[in-house]
Amino acid sequence: MFERIENESVVSTVVNKIKKSIMDGDLKPGDKLPTEVELIDQLGVGRNSVREAVKMLTALGVLEVKRGQGTFVVEKVKPSFFNPLLFSLIIEPKSNKDLYELRVMFDTMVLFNLMDKMDPDKFDQIDNLMEEVEGHYASGDKDIDYFVGMDVRFHKLLMDLTENALIKQIGEVIISLFPEYIKKSISQEKGILRSINNHKEIIHHLRTKDKTSLSQLVEKTLEEWKEEWK
Amino acid sequence: MFERIENESVVSTVVNKIKKSIMDGDLKPGDKLPTEVELIDQLGVGRNSVREAVKMLTALGVLEVKRGQGTFVVEKVKPSFFNPLLFSLIIEPKSNKDLYELRVMFDTMVLFNLMDKMDPDKFDQIDNLMEEVEGHYASGDKDIDYFVGMDVRFHKLLMDLTENALIKQIGEVIISLFPEYIKKSISQEKGILRSINNHKEIIHHLRTKDKTSLSQLVEKTLEEWKEEWK
DNA sequence: AAATTTCATATATAATACAATTAGGTCCCA
DNA sequence: TGGGACCTAATTGTATTATATATGAAATTT
């Protein structure tokens, strides 16, 4: 008969009012919100409610609080936006197979995307990184952590070059799930070499815009990894 | 000389302790946290700090507060908690292109993954869905919402068929960002038809395991959308 | 002019009081 | 013996007040 009375909490109300101000354009990126005291007066609520609302929007990456100065709408959204996703991956454990598949597929995706965007400057950045790694290897350095770090840097660089903020964000999350696996996979000298050669092959296919070979390479890599983990 | 003293706020500390408990497995999905008063005692902080920390984790979809009962770790993170991502589209309008690219790339990724896994049963599921949609279209039904819903269902079905929990999860997030865009793009009769034909093409390439054509199709679709948004 | 201090402003934390919601038990009566 | 009304303990929700701390700018000193 009667529909449920939605007793929206005070905090939710405040959150929504701030949200609305942003979406309506009354508050633009970089703008300063009224001070806590002003908000208390304007909204007619307690200070705790205002603070809790601001904290929620801070957690979501929408607001930014600078102590002694005030509260501001963020200029640029941080990758922390995908933190909830990261949590969900922790809360609901995933199988290794799923994780690999995702990683390999994501890498392929990034590379495909890059093929249409690569220019000489971007190749320079990649080449510089590769020279650094090969130099270290040639010099006899066998520090696993270094090569693991460079492996991560290589993949992050590729993601950066897509110039797509969303891809970067999701990529960060995926890579953050991987350090142990990378370490395990290159924790032998032949692992290091294989990693370097793998990257070189990737770059080669990127230069020649050879999607077929690239996707075959990725598949091959996946197969190798699978073998190793049995 | 001295490195900066990171004065982590009390609230952040509480947030991190709760996070850690979850990640270490001391708190599992569905578990009840200590009451506010207990947390105050155990952590030696004020109630405001505890409440603000809980509010942040609630905003991230990690905790769930039931008044009169307590605070719990969520069983399953809902995709709706990613809505804040929509903020990034308001704050950084240029990311529309990014979002679109991500979507197209993710779809491609799913399809590539599927190619090696498809069996007759899976094709049956897809065919059933397509028959339903085409039936509706043939019957003269032009309800936009219906076709938008079916477009979403089509893409969700493809993701389901990968049988990869991670892909499903990330896909949910991406798709949840799209209803309005999809709606815009098929909000004309020719839009509906185009959507249906596009899906049919996808299925065809899936059957023939033709990766090249598939990736070309996706590129073509991307180009079309780009044109439309100018 | 440069360095230091002071001060106003804003957020951070804590403590207290009371309100509201929920689950479950108790009581009472038919 | 049921079953409904009521009560109560536990827990979160909101408001208020007090104090602490960080920040930037103004005032002061050197």
DSSP state letter for A80: G
Residue B4 contacts strand D, CB under 7 A: no
> Is residue A92 over pLDDT 70?
no
Q: Which residue has the higher pLDDT, B38 or A61?
A: B38
The arithmetic mean of pLDDT across residues A55-66, rounded, is: 92
Q: What is the pLDDT of residue A73?
A: 93
Res. A127: pLDDT tops 70:
yes
In this complex, do B92 and A99 lie within 8 Å of one another by their Cβ atoms? no
Say whether B95 and A166 touch across the interface (CB within 8 A): yes
Is residue A96 predicted with pLDDT exceeding 80? no
**Which one, of A57, A64, A55, lies nearest residue A31 by Cα?**
A64
Q: Is B76 on the interface with A (CB under 8 A)?
A: yes
Banded model confidence at residue A187, pLDDT cuts 50, 70, 90: low
With an 8 Å Cβ cutoff, are B56 and A58 in contact? yes
Look over chain A and give the mean of its residue pLDDT values, rounded to a whole number: 82
> How far is it, in rounded angstroms, from Cα A110 to Cα A166?
12
- Does the pTM exceed 0.75? no
> Residue A204 pLDDT > 80, yes or no?
yes
- Answer with the residue of higher pLDDT: B26 or A83: B26
pLDDT for residue A1: 47
3-class DSSP state for residue A32? strand
Taking the alpha carbons of B117, B157, B181, A106 in that order, is the dihedral positive or negative?
negative
CA–CA separation, A75 and A90 (whole Å):
29
Q: Can you give the distance from the CA of residue B21 to the C1' of nucleotide C13 in angstroms?
A: 23
The more confident residue out of B79 and A125 is A125
Nucleotide nearest to A66 (CA to C1'): C11
Element holding A64 (H helix, E strand):
strand A63-66
CB A101 within 8 A of CB B113: yes
Place of tokens 């109630």: B47
Q: Is B43 on the interface with A (CB under 8 A)?
A: no
pLDDT at B187: 63
Q: Which nucleotides of D are covered by protein (CB under 7 A)?
A: 9-18, 21-24
- How many angstroms is C1' of D27 away from CA of B147? 69
What's the token pair of residue A20?
């609305």
Distance CA B63, CA B50 (A): 13
**What mean pLDDT comes out for the span A120-135?**
90
* pLDDT band, residue A26 (cuts 50/70/90): very high
pLDDT of residue B1: 45
pLDDT for the residue A58: 93
Residue A82 with chain B: CB contacts under 8 Å: 82, 85
Q: Which residue is nearest to nucleotide C13 (CA to C1')?
A: B46
pLDDT along chain B (230 residues), means of 10: 63 93 87 96 96 94 92 78 59 69 84 86 90 86 80 89 85 72 64 84 89 81 65
Cβ A92–B113 below 8 Å, yes or no? Answer: no
DSSP-H helix ranges across chain B = 10-23, 36-43, 47-59, 84-91, 95-115, 120-138, 144-161, 165-176, 179-185, 189-207, 211-228
Please tell me the least confidently modeled range out of A21-25, A84-88, B121-125: A84-88
Q: What is the DSSP string of A123-149?
A: HHHHHHHHHHHHHHHHTT---HHHHHH
How confident is the model at residue B226, as a pLDDT? Answer: 62
B window 69-108: Cβ near strand D (< 7 A): 69-71
Whether pLDDT at A116 is above 50: yes
Whether the CB of B102 is below 8 Å from some CB of chain A: the reply is: yes
pLDDT at B185: 66
Residue–nucleotide distance: B33 CA to D1 C1' (Å):
40
Chain A / chain B CB contacts < 8 angstroms: 151
